[in-house]
């Protein structure tokens, strides 16, 4: 299990970019990603002309039933700490 990260950006959008960069760093490291999982299937790209960032993300989840009968979705851990 990888430890949580402290995000320093002051906006949700900035934190999202930070989080994507953390995931990319863990994904590209054999120590933190021993099963070679690729949740980010295309790199973060930034179009300087439009100011738009894009990334493709696939995250494994586990589905269960909540106490009220609704579907409970939990992210499946795929990374480990170095």
pLDDT digits (tens, 9 = 90+) for 15-28: 999 999 999 999 99
25 occurs within a structural domain: yes
What pLDDT does residue 1 have?
Answer: 64
**How many structural domains comprise the chain?**
1
Range of the domain at 61: 12-75
Neighbours of 21 (CB within 10 A): 13
What pLDDT does residue 55 have?
Answer: 93
Contacts of 80 (CB under 8 A, 6+ apart): 1, 2, 31, 32, 33, 34
80 occurs within a structural domain: no
Can you tell me the distance from the alpha carbon of 60 to that of 9, in angstroms, rounded to the nearest whole number?
26
pTM of the predicted model over 0.85: no
2 occurs within a structural domain: no
């Amino acid at each position: 299990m990888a430890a949580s990260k402290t995000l320093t950006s002051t906006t949700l959008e900035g934190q999202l970019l930070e989080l994507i960069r953390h995931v990319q760093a863990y994904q590209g490291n054999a120590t933190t990603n021993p099963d070679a999982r690729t949740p980010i299937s295309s790199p973060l790209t930034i179009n300087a002309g439009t100011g738009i960032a894009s990334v493709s993300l696939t995250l494994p989840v586990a589905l269960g039933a909540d106490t009220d009968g609704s579907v409970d979705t939990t992210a499946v851990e795929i990374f480990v700490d170095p």
